[in-house]
Amino acid sequence: YSRLIAWIQATPLATAREKKEQPVIICGLVQSIKEITTKKGEKMAFVMIEDQTSTGEAIIFPKAWRRLT
């Protein structure tokens, strides 16, 4: 998949943290998903992602989680 990752210009997880408050595209394997319910009763999730450079956690907020599930 390295050609596809290069084509979509995905940011490696190892350098994604350097781009604070800038949108980035990441591409990796989902290692785990932890779905929780907020105090308002909405579902959201914490997703562990791994690419060729590092691992990281993505937070999927309720509005986005509703679109994905």
Whether the full predicted model's pTM is greater than 0.85, yes or no, is: no
Confidence bin at 21 (pLDDT 50/70/90):
confident
**63 phi and psi angles, rounded to 5 deg:** -60, -45
Rounded mean pLDDT, 47-66: 95
What does the mean pLDDT of the chain come to? 94
pLDDT of residue 66: 96
The DSSP secondary-structure symbol of 41 reads S
| Residue 24 near residue 30, CB atoms below 8 Å | no
